[in-house]
């Protein structure tokens, strides 16, 4: 490897370093014998390296060298510099960079920010001293007519650029009818010390830029397996000569004459354009790119001109996915319970899917719930499955419809899909009982006050019950009687108690059987009722009477006389009346 010292001193015309001079001195010993071979190699390498229309070379007669060379080019006609050959250190393999700037290099030799990198190449092997070595960097640098551009060709590692001592920066070095190359400077890398004056040893492969082609596809992407794409073609004359276009071809379709709106020949005055378009189907598999080259050719000022442009259409896979959600069980008795939800995300498209989120609109972010973990990469035709368990609660008839949204990226674009599952709660029938008791359970005729107690029991497993009425078939609506009041809400397993007093009357042996009905609805709005009865017996009280007889007078003289008897029969019964029959 040839190593160039970092301490080289810039001078007007002095040597870069003793080593370089020694190398060039040794190389010169062999030049005479190699002259014929060099000429042949130079001709072949220049001829076969690139397909540009024009070639301009500066003299290959090195006597000096450094990492790179910096110089100016002026275009008489608009040109496109396609590629450059350079005189590289013999026997070296090195990496190279090429920069440009619009305008002269003078004053910008050490200002890296003023330059634009055109490209790089690595492991380039020199073809020999004073032999053009093609630098495989496609430049496609447009230099408009009358404009000066600067180029900086430099080795970055492992070799160097050979050149020749010059006379003055800006002196004419080489040229033709289209471009002129001028003397410049040598440079250490990168944008380092400047060595002046130096002549670049190189070859320029270029085309006239009178004709330019631009092509734009719409759309630039299509979903597999493809579809119609419209290509807008623009031919532009950027030069100073009138261009006659006689050929317009597509690398996939052939001649475009008569295709779409394109027609030939076309004459382009300076600074004018010709526009046409055509539509064709672009097909392929997802993830591939279809590239076509549109080429135009003709003449300008008697010289052949040509230009081309490429247009690429990306065929993206038909990204698609489906989400399936299951619930086990999907029926539950109220008030609910645990349900296991299964989730399956299937890649039904032709591109992999980067699954980023799984969100359930009821149970939230599923990452970390159950067996669900994220992110996941789902290959084409593959499925990611997981499950989680959650509570579903509610009343009979309630249905929980919960939806999972799966989101991610596929083919560089967002993708999402949803799946739902429904869990329905079935009714568990409510039940109600009523107990009525009477205190006392019997009263002496003709009756008396009895205290009635009522207990309404909600014997349901689940439902609460709202009692809206308590009706006694004898004593009527109990709302407001005693401690009884409605409505009352009785939870499952609970009870409601109240009491009221009423008078029970009747004859001995009579019984009063009165029934209370409690009616209402359960929390599923189903009507429900229950009743209970109590019996009160009328006890018999024995009848009693006495008789009082009074004689007036209580005595008479003999032989006797008339006596008045008064009879009084008294009914001493507590209740009964008595009928005297004899």
Judge if the upstream peptide bond of residue 446 is cis by omega within 30 degrees of 0.
yes
Structural element, H or E, at residue 57: strand 54-57
Q: What percent of the chain has pLDDT over 90?
A: 67
What are the pLDDT digits (tens) for 535-558?
Answer: 999 998 887 788 888 888 988 888
Question: How many CB atoms sit inside 10 A of residue 423's CB?
Answer: 23
- Whether residue 29 has pLDDT greater than 70: no
Tell me the C-alpha distance between 397 and 424, whole Å. 6
Sorted by sequence, the CB contacts under 8 Å of residue 282 that are 6+ apart come out as: 217, 222, 226, 227, 228, 229, 290, 313, 315
What tokens does 428 get? Answer: 């568990």
Question: Are the C-beta atoms of residues 298 and 47 closer than 8 Å to each other?
Answer: no
What are the pLDDT digits (tens) for 314-344?
Answer: 988 778 899 999 999 999 998 889 999 999 9
Q: What is the mean pLDDT of the chain?
A: 88
Tell me the C-alpha distance between 409 and 351, whole Å. 10
The dihedral region occupied by 157, where left means phi > 0, alpha psi between -120 and 50, and beta the remainder, is: beta
With cut-offs at 50, 70 and 90, classify the pLDDT of residue 567. confident
Q: What is the pLDDT of residue 577?
A: 82
Q: What is the pLDDT of residue 6?
A: 33
Question: Are the C-beta atoms of residues 55 and 44 closer than 8 Å to each other?
Answer: no
Question: How many CB atoms sit inside 10 A of residue 262's CB?
Answer: 21
Tell me the C-alpha distance between 395 and 417, whole Å. 31
> Partners of 495 in the beta sheet?
457
Q: Which has more confidence, 293 or 43?
A: 293
Looking at residues 164-180, what average pLDDT do you find?
97
Q: What is the pLDDT of residue 30?
A: 35
Q: Which has more confidence, 528 or 28?
A: 528
What tokens does 371 get? Answer: 């067996």
Tell me the C-alpha distance between 582 and 270, whole Å. 157
Query: Cα dist. 379→156, 285, 410 in Å?
Result: 43, 16, 10
Looking at residues 171-178, what average pLDDT do you find?
96
Q: What is the pLDDT of residue 33?
A: 37
- Whether residue 158 has pLDDT greater than 80: no
Tell me the C-alpha distance between 404 and 397, whole Å. 22
Q: What secondary structure does DSSP assign to 341-386, as a single string? A: EEEEEEE-SSS-EEEEEEEETTTEE-TTSTT--S-EEE-TT-EEEE
Q: What is the pLDDT of residue 51?
A: 60
Rounded to the nearest angstrom, the gap between the alpha carbon of residue 108 and the centroid of all alpha carbons in its chain is 48
Q: pTM of the predicted model, to two decimals?
A: 0.44
Tell me the C-alpha distance between 326 and 341, whole Å. 5
Q: What is the pLDDT of residue 190?
A: 94
Residue with tokens 């969100």: 359
Residue with tokens 């004859």: 507
The DSSP output letter for 445 is T
Question: Are the C-beta atoms of residues 349 and 413 closer than 8 Å to each other?
Answer: no
Q: What is the pLDDT of residue 23?
A: 37
Looking at residues 143-170, what average pLDDT do you find?
93
Q: What percent of the chain has pLDDT over 70?
A: 91
Query: Cα dist. 485→433, 439, 452 in Å?
Result: 18, 20, 14
> Partners of 449 in the beta sheet?
503
Question: Are the C-beta atoms of residues 432 and 459 closer than 8 Å to each other?
Answer: yes
Tell me the C-alpha distance between 178 and 77, whole Å. 5
- Whether residue 373 has pLDDT greater than 50: yes
Among the residue ranges 46-50, 238-242, 325-329, the one predicted with the least confidence is: 46-50
Looking at residues 34-46, what average pLDDT do you find?
36
Tell me the C-alpha distance between 471 and 479, whole Å. 8
Question: How many CB atoms sit inside 10 A of residue 241's CB?
Answer: 21
Q: What is the pLDDT of residue 499?
A: 97
Backbone angles phi, psi at 244, to 5 degrees: -105, 115
Residue count of the chain, please give it: 582
Sorted by sequence, the CB contacts under 8 Å of residue 39 that are 6+ apart come out as: none
Q: What is the pLDDT of residue 50?
A: 54
Q: What is the pLDDT of residue 465?
A: 95
Question: Are the C-beta atoms of residues 201 and 62 closer than 8 Å to each other?
Answer: yes
Q: Which has more confidence, 142 or 457?
A: 457
Residue with tokens 């065929």: 315
Tell me the C-alpha distance between 199 and 189, whole Å. 18
Question: Are the C-beta atoms of residues 347 and 378 closer than 8 Å to each other?
Answer: yes
What tokens does 83 get? Answer: 């590629």
Question: How many CB atoms sit inside 10 A of residue 326's CB?
Answer: 14
The dihedral region occupied by 226, where left means phi > 0, alpha psi between -120 and 50, and beta the remainder, is: left
Domains within the chain, CATH numbers bracketed: 18-208 (2.60.120.820), 211-316 (2.60.40.10), 321-426 (2.60.40.10), 432-539 (2.60.40.10), 544-582 (no CATH)
Residue with tokens 């010390």: 193
Structural element, H or E, at residue 22: helix 18-49
CB hemisphere CA count around 475 (13 angstroms): 27
């Amino acid at each position: 490897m040839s190593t160039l010292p970092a301490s080289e001193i810039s001078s007007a015309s002095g040597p870069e370093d003793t080593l370089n001079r020694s190398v060039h001195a040794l190389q010169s010993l062999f030049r005479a014998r190699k002259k014929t071979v060099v000429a042949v190699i130079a001709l072949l390498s220049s001829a076969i390296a690139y397909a540009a229309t024009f070639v301009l070379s500066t003299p290959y007669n090195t006597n000096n060298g450094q990492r790179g060379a910096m110089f100016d080019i002026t275009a008489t006609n608009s040109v496109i510099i396609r590629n450059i050959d350079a005189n590289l250190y013999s026997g070296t393999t090195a990496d190279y960079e090429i920069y440009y700037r619009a305008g002269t290099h003078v004053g910008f030799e050490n200002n890296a920010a003023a330059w634009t990198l055109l490209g790089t190449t690595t492991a380039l092997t020199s073809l020999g001293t004073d032999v053009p070595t093609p630098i495989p960097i496609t430049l496609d640098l447009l230099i408009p007519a009358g404009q000066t551009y600067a180029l900086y060709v430099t080795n970055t590692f492992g070799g160097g650029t050979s050149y020749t001592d010059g006379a003055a920066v800006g002196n004419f070095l080489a040229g033709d009818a289209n471009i002129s190359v001028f003397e410049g400077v040598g440079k250490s890398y990168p944008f380092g010390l400047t060595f002046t004056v130096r002549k670049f040893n190189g070859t320029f492969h270029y085309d006239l830029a009178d004709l330019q082609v631009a092509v734009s596809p719409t759309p630039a992407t299509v979903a597999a397996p493809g579809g119609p794409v419209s290509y807008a073609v623009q031919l532009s004359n950027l030069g100073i000569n009138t261009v006659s276009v006689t050929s317009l071809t597509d690398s996939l379709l052939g001649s475009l004459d008569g295709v779409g709106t394109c027609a030939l020949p076309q004459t382009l005055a300076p600074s004018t354009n010709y526009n046409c378009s055509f539509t064709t189907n672009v097909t392929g598999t997802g993830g591939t790119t279809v590239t076509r080259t549109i080429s135009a050719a003709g003449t300008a000022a008697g010289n052949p001109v040509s230009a081309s442009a490429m247009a690429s259409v990306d065929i993206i896979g038909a990204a698609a996915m489906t989400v399936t959600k299951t619930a086990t069980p999907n029926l539950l008795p109220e008030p609910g319970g645990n349900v296991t939800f299964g989730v399956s995300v299937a890649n039904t498209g032709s591109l992999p899917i980067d699954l980023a989120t799984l969100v359930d609109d009821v149970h939230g972010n599923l990452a970390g719930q159950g067996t669900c973990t994220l992110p996941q990469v789902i290959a084409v035709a593959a499925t990611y499955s997981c499950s989680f368990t959650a509570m579903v609660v509610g009343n009979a008839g309630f249905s929980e419809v919960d939806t999972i949204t799966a989101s991610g990226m596929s083919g560089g674009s967002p993708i999402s899909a949803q799946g739902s599952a429904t869990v329905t709660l079935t009714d568990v029938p409510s039940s109600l009982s009523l107990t009525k008791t009477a205190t006392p359970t019997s009263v002496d005729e003709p009756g008396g006050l009895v205290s009635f107690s009522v207990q309404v029991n909600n014997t349901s497993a689940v439902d609460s019950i709202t009692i809206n009425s308590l009706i006694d078939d004898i004593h009527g609506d109990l709302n407001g009687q005693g401690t009884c009041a409605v409505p009352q809400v009785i939870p499952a397993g609970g009870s409601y108690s109240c009491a009221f007093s009423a008078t029970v009357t009747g004859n001995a042996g009579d019984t009063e059987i009165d029934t209370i009905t409690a009616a209402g609805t359960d929390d599923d709005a189903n009507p429900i009722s229950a009743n209970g009865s109590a019996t009160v017996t009328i006890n018999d009280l024995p009848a009693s009477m006495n008789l009082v007889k009074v004689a007036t007078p209580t005595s008479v003289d003999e032989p006797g006389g008339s006596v008045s008897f008064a009879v009084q029969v008294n009914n001493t019964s507590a209740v009964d009346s008595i009928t005297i029959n004899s």
